[in-house]
Structure 1
Amino acid sequence: MATTPAHTLNLCGVLSEAKRIVNAHSRHFLALSVVFLLPLSFSLIIFPTLQLSLTKSYVVSTQFLVLDRTDVRQWLTIPLIYALFVYILFLGATATITYSTYHGFYGRPVKFFPAMKSLFVSFFPLVSTAIAAQLILSLISLTFFLFYVVAIRMGENLGFVINYTSSYFTLFHALLGAAVSLFVIYFLVNWSLACVVVVTESKWGFEPLWRSSYLVKGMKSVSLSMLLLFGVLIGFWVWVNSNDVLHLDAVDGWRSWPFVVQLVIGTSILTLLLLHTISANTVLYMYCKALHGELAIEIAEEFAREYVSLPFDDEKVPHVVTVFPA
């Protein structure tokens, strides 16, 4: 029976266990990263350069009055295709890496083709769950917008003169924006495990959202820490590398060595960040189940299956992780 040292239910415990699983199956996760995360990272870094080139051609066409419907259609279609491309790659990476990390946590065999097969099972449930979450967030944003409009109209009807350029009005905008951001972060923290629930428990729609809100109780500080840590790291890295690539392209052109080196380094590190984000989120799901007493039942069932399938081989050695609250 394979055992590992005990981990506490905190951010360091989640990150260390996710790192252990990724390192134990490095070639498998490398293959998944090449299929999904590498093109995703490349597109995130290179798209601002492509968008600038498209915008320049649009401006030139406008200046010379040669803009036709084909130009407009192309200018609008490319960002939509790019968004769809990024969305599909992200869902594919989420499904396959979550599936692999989940099985790697138990010490089960982690193979490429079963992971890819899980994508076909989980893709549309992931889409439906994302639509459900977007619907709720849209309703919340609409509520704040209606509050904003009603407040402005009510003030004008009461005879107040509203100076739209005053510092007070700017402060009102800032407070309203902060309130919306806090609500969005609150729901993102509560729904952080929804994708994992879809993949591991075969739920879809609104159900994974409620299930995630239940599991994350008692671990919201860890979920928030992960959201802020990876959100800041990924956002900062994409912003820095996009600006650098954009500058290098403008100065030296696409074939310059600085452009290629910057693109390779930026894409590689962003791929690693995205991989550990998805893997760590899956480990957080397992730790949340441990906190709610659900993991012990699954481990008992895992041992029962392994006991029935005696004798053991090297790929069927149960893996035990002892966890306890920080």
Structure 2
Amino acid sequence: MNNVQLQHRVVISFRALPLLGQKLRSLSSPPSAMATLTPPPTAVHIDLWPILSESKRIINAHSRHFLALSVLFLLPLSFSFSAYPFIDKLFSQSSPPSIESHFSFLYNPFQLQKPPIFPIKYIFTLLYSLFVFIFSLLATGSITCSVFHGFYGRPVKFVSAIKSSFTTFFPLLSTCLVTELILSGILVILGLIFLGLLKLTQVLGFQVNYSSTYFLSLCLFFLITFMFIVLYLQVKWAFAYVVVVVESSWGLEPLKRSKNLVRGLKRVAFSILLFFGFFSGILTWVSAAGWGNVASDKWKNWAFILHIVLTSALFMSLMLSYLAASTVFYMYSKAIHGELAWEIAEEFAREYVSLPFDDEKVPHVVSVVNG
């Protein structure tokens, strides 16, 4: 008997994914035993709230794991966000008491030398920026990897997350540098256009009044234009860092991949940025409420310490939720674009697992060929 290829189209409904394992195992049965073909729906709807709900479910299912990662990577970041403006003001104070005065002996021990050209404040700012950059990449690599495995119901291991944070560090670094180069190039182009307009105005014989309303309006126009361009690119690059961690790519490739995945979902990507950006702004405003009176002994005030602790905890929770939501949104986008079905089939081919999909997800069709 000749080999006959039987193509079975199995409708994978996100409302009935637990039946997928049985369907895949029954592929060797006669065609009469297979499910009746059902055409997939044409409309696809996805919203912000199912993404937030699913990301919260994954975090709650592995609460101790994500708490450990948050304390290790996100808590130092959130504490620095809350305390840095206060510490920066202490460094900026010229009159004692201040932290800078306690370190003045490093460059002027006998009040006979002039202060150094590169003050301690600038060194502190540089070290702080480097600290934030490194810990942000480490947190992205570890938490994204954990949420990705938690989405499939796989075991989430702390050691694997730490390993992922280091193995994805340089790919994330390269992608971040590419994005910064692109944004810097756009800013340079806008700056050249702005200077060209000023030069053209002077060539035509007009005087440029830098304090006039027209000049300030022109500056504001270019600033708003740059902000809109950045926002548009951030929406298109919503999955860039998730792609780096999950798909092991780097450089410009994750940006192209994110552009393809976010197609048709820009509204949801924008709503995620708007949602977390709004609450980040609120937290920043609340945190700034304690920056008014700067004194070296303010750290002895229990109300100020409580303020720093609460804002740090909220910042940590917000960053964790954002990283989890971005990863879940990436998985939903792959499902909507028909890329997740074979990965699910491979999961069930190994063993049955319970997959966390929402009731609002749409069916997808998988074609399985038996030889």
TM-score, normalised with respect to structure 2: 0.78
Q: 2: CA distance between counterparts of 1:291 and 1:116?
A: 30
Q: 1: CA distance between counterparts of 2:16 and 2:78?
A: 34
CA RMSD between the two structures: 2.4
Q: Any idea what SS the aligned residue of 1:15 has?
A: helix
Q: 2: CA distance between counterparts of 1:151 and 1:91?
A: 39
* Contact in 2 for aligned 1:190/1:220 (Cα 8 Å): yes
2:309 partner amino acid: V
Aligned to 1:304: 349
Q: 1:175 to 1:263 in 2, by over 3 A?
A: same
* Contact in 2 for aligned 1:5/1:321 (Cα 8 Å): no
Indicate yes or no: 2:357 matched with 1:321.
yes
Q: How many residues align?
A: 311
Q: 1:125 to 1:245 in 2, by over 3 A?
A: same
Aligned to 2:319: 274
Q: 1: CA distance between counterparts of 2:76 and 2:89?
A: 20
Among 115, 121, 124, which residue is 2:170 paired with? 124
Q: Any idea what SS the aligned residue of 1:161 has?
A: coil
Indicate yes or no: 2:76 matched with 1:68.
no
Report Cα offsets for 1:93-128 as digits up to 9, x if no partner.
111110011111111111111111111210000000
Q: 2: CA distance between counterparts of 1:236 and 1:83?
A: 22
Q: 1: CA distance between counterparts of 2:68 and 2:15?
A: 26
Give unpaired runs (5+ residues) of structure 1.
308-316
* Higher-helix-fraction structure: 1
Aligned to 1:256: 301
Deviation of the 1:4 alpha carbon: 7.5
Q: 1: CA distance between counterparts of 2:238 and 2:308?
A: 30
Among 214, 238, 243, which residue is 2:284 paired with? 238
Aligned to 1:313: none
Deviation of the 1:76 alpha carbon: 1.6
Among 144, 153, 157, which residue is 1:98 paired with? 144
Report Cα offsets for 1:152-183 as digits up to 9, x if no partner.
10111011222222212221111111111110
Q: 1: CA distance between counterparts of 2:338 and 2:296?
A: 58
* Contact in 2 for aligned 1:37/1:275 (Cα 8 Å): yes
Percent identity between matched residues is: 45
Q: 1:67 to 1:288 in 2, by over 3 A?
A: farther
Indicate yes or no: 2:228 matched with 1:182.
yes
Give unpaired runs (5+ residues) of structure 2.
1-13, 18-43, 105-110, 363-371
Q: 2: CA distance between counterparts of 1:248 and 1:259?
A: 11
2:329 partner amino acid: L
Q: 1:57 to 1:249 in 2, by over 3 A?
A: closer
* Contact in 1 for aligned 2:243/2:258 (Cα 8 Å): yes
Report Cα offsets for 1:52-107 as digits up to 9, x if no partner.
1111149988xx996422x7342221101000111111111111110011111111
Aligned to 2:274: 228
Aligned to 1:293: 338
Indicate yes or no: 2:66 matched with 1:29.
yes
TM-score, normalised with respect to structure 1: 0.89
Q: 1:65 to 1:235 in 2, by over 3 A?
A: farther
Q: 2: CA distance between counterparts of 1:57 and 1:26?
A: 46
Aligned to 2:46: 9
